Chain A
Amino acid sequence: MGQITLSGISKNFGAVQVLEGIDLDIRKGELVVFVGPSGCGKSTLLRLIAGLDKPTGGTIAIDGRDVTPVPAADRGLAMVFQSYALYPHMSVRQNMAFGLENAHLPRPEIDARIAEASRMLEIAKLLDRRPGQLSGGQRQRVAIGRAIVRNPTAFLLDEPLSNLDAELRVSMRAELAALHQRLGTTMVYVTHDQVEAMTLADRIVVLRAGRIEQVDTPLALFNAPANVFVAGFIGAPNMNFIQGVVRGPVEGGVAVTAFDGRVVPVDAAAGALAPGDAVTLGVRPHHLRRVGPDEGLPVTVHLVEALGAETVVHGRTAEGQRILAVLAGQEPLASGDVIALAFERRQTHAFDKDGLRVAGN
């Protein structure tokens, strides 16, 4: 149980269209992450699924039943809010019991569920405290606990980790992943942090300006981004983009003029690109290698970030194009140095003038 189907969902706030033409099938037991820049409509979409808002158009089905007109309380879903939204005047135990009491569950059943969830989340010792007496991480656990005891068909989580410090966020992320494994319940998780999306998701839904840009597994998104937006959004640091023009066909692809007249071969399906077409080449910073002076693209170093295991180089080409490279190991570089960088043909992406991906592996 826990399959959620969105068909043709749109949402307007007054005259402002916030979501448009959302079709999505969330499978039973899946952990789906909505990711996208701030304001793209992630929370709105989650709230539509929750039933806290009603869509302007389209339908929402849970396990095949159309729940579009069904109020939030009767959808069998549980939500974890970004602010946790714990009832400040109730103890942790009362916070967890509240929804179950509303459903008139027998007291022993309520106590058993709270005991089970608080053991799982290691908050048994906090049960008689109030939210105001808990740390941020503990409140987060209580908020998750309050969702778990409801035994929902799916969990909805809206940026649940964004109020935690960096260290805690990483450990809670791992715990959430483990929790999902253990419960096997469908989870819909909203974040603007693509690293969080990559590490947690079974599938990622990339949203931009109220539309779905791409839905796929984390690695598929990384390896084959559908368009420039996804390519730039997924993967850290961001992909380098270079403008170029198609010169003509080569074996298995086309040759592209870029970088001050240099010619770069890229893989492309026959007919996808014609000579004279403008293209955007995309190369990930990790895919740039340092080579001998005459074997690659000359780049002037502007800033070096030596992280120990790798060296992040911010540089510019002769034409002023910004390039970010992540080189393995420690490189003795300084600002002003000129280095040569090369990249593999199969790791070079190309996007047409509409931003759609036409080449790359």
Chain B
Amino acid sequence: MAGVLGRAAGVLAAPVAWAAALVDRPMRAWQNATGTNGMAAVFLAPNMLIFGVFVLFPLVINIAYSMTGGTALFLPDRTFVGAAQYERLLSCADYTDPKTCEEDQFWIAVRNTGVFVVFQVALMTVVAVVTALILNREIRGRSFWRAVFFFPVLLSPVVVGLIWRWILQRDGLLNAALFQLGFTPHVWLTDRFWAFAAAIGVSIWAHVGFYALIVLAGLQAIPKDLYEAAEMDGTKPGRVFWRITLPLLMPNLLVVIVLALIRAVQIFDEVFVLTGGGPGTSTMFLTQYIYEVGFASLLKNPGLASAASILMGGVLVVLTLVQLAVARRNEAKGKRQ
């Protein structure tokens, strides 16, 4: 057995050794030319190249687009308009009422996204904690249930949207079941309230497994003997949760909240497939607005879409900085203990 493995390792090692010999000479030459520190640049180069082409370059182009006007697609054909697109997006007589804004669709999307973020993140956090608490128990088939809750995370958002449209549409699974049970079916996805609720519910269903996993990791990191100490101290179960579990879970909860926030602001694919933003504009969120203005509407306006995406990007940068600060704080806390 060991002999076979050894031989296999030998066979595998041969091409590696050959490749190593091949790059040895140029690498040495490079190191002689640039010094040891210069080598870092060599190893970083491939990744920086990919990052540059697919992230940095589009970002710069996007900023450039946001300062141009017209419907032309290629940048050289477009006219420079300065901050006009931003002014158009931000001009409102009354910021609490989208109808008074020049670009009312943008503000409807902003308001929808805001409401969505608040409810989705709050609910997501609660559902993730409850799920993790249940999965952390000594239940029968625990690994199976953990897999069940994580499974939707692996699905493509489009598949998630399709599955739920299939369930919720007029002649869908839910209505069929209701009809069978003797209730009156309801057209869920054309009802403003239920369509929005479905957007929240479906996005939670699709992602909660991921956040529950983060919470579960936090739960398992709480030493068992703290619970035994609390038991000796005569602590009631509810108080154990509020005074021991929750405070010790805080670092993980902060991570969950910030990550969920970042993702909720970007919500698009599964809801777009599920409701198409409707009924009317009641489930149209920012990313969909940008997509439609830039690519899907009859009068494409890449400049306006770019400006809106830059504004949204700004919000995401702030959230990401918050996340990094949270991570750093957790790390510092971890070191202190």
Report yes or no: A102 in contact with B244, Cβ–Cβ below 8 A.
no
Which one of A50, A88, A102 lies within 8 Å of B235 (CB-CB)? A102
Q: Mark B323-337, 1 if CB is under 8 A from A, else 0.
A: 000000000000011
Report yes or no: B337 in contact with A85, Cβ–Cβ below 8 A.
no
Contacts of A99 in B (CB 8 A): 232-235
Q: 8 Å CB contacts to A: which residues of B247-292?
A: 247-248
B94 CB within 8 Å of chain A = no
Q: How far is the CB of A179 from chain B (nearest CB, A)?
A: 19
Report yes or no: A77 in contact with B234, Cβ–Cβ below 8 A.
no
B231 CB within 8 Å of chain A = yes
Report yes or no: A102 in contact with B223, Cβ–Cβ below 8 A.
no
Contacts of B337 in A (CB 8 A): 88, 132
B191 CB within 8 Å of chain A = no
The 3 tightest CB contacts between A and B, nearest first, are: A73-B234, A99-B233, A85-B225
Contacts of B243 in A (CB 8 A): 98
Q: How far is the CB of A113 from chain B (nearest CB, A)?
A: 14
In the docked arrangement, what's the CA distance between A81 and B230, Å?
A: 12
Interface Cβ pair total, 8 Å cutoff: 57
Chain B contact residues, CB within 8 Å of chain A: 223, 225-226, 228-236, 239, 243-244, 247-248, 336-337
Contacts of A73 in B (CB 8 A): 231-235
In the docked arrangement, what's the CA distance between A85 and B234, Å?
A: 15
Contacts of B236 in A (CB 8 A): 102
Q: 8 Å CB contacts to B: which residues of A84-103?
A: 85-89, 98-99, 102-103
Q: A81-B225, A83-B223, A85-B223 are in contact. Are A72 and B247 (CB under 8 A)?
A: no
Contacts of B336 in A (CB 8 A): 132-133
Report yes or no: B234 in contact with A87, Cβ–Cβ below 8 A.
no
Q: How far is the CB of B334 from chain A (nearest CB, A)?
A: 10
In the docked arrangement, what's the CA distance between A89 and B247, Å?
A: 7
In the docked arrangement, what's the CA distance between A225 and B53, Å?
A: 81
Contacts of B223 in A (CB 8 A): 83, 85
Chain A contact residues, CB within 8 Å of chain B: 50, 52, 71-74, 77-79, 81, 83, 85-89, 98-99, 102-103, 132-133, 150
Report yes or no: B229 in contact with A102, Cβ–Cβ below 8 A.
no
Report yes or no: B235 in contact with A77, Cβ–Cβ below 8 A.
no
Q: How far is the CB of A162 from chain B (nearest CB, A)?
A: 14
CB nearest neighbor in B for A53: B228
Contacts of A71 in B (CB 8 A): 231
In the docked arrangement, what's the CA distance between A260 and B287, Å?
A: 94
In the docked arrangement, what's the CA distance between A98 and B227, Å?
A: 13
Which one of A52, A86, A89, A133 lies within 8 Å of B228 (CB-CB)? A52
Which one of B226, B235, B239 lies within 8 Å of A85 (CB-CB)? B226
CB nearest neighbor in A for B229: A85
Q: How far is the CB of B335 from chain A (nearest CB, A)?
A: 10
Report yes or no: A85 in contact with B228, Cβ–Cβ below 8 A.
yes
Report yes or no: A74 in contact with B234, Cβ–Cβ below 8 A.
yes
In the docked arrangement, what's the CA distance between A102 and B239, Å?
A: 9
Instruction: Find the residue from B225, B234, B248 having the highest chain A CB count within 10 A.
Output: B234
Instruction: Find the residue from A81, A88, A150 having the highest chain B CB count within 10 A.
Output: A88
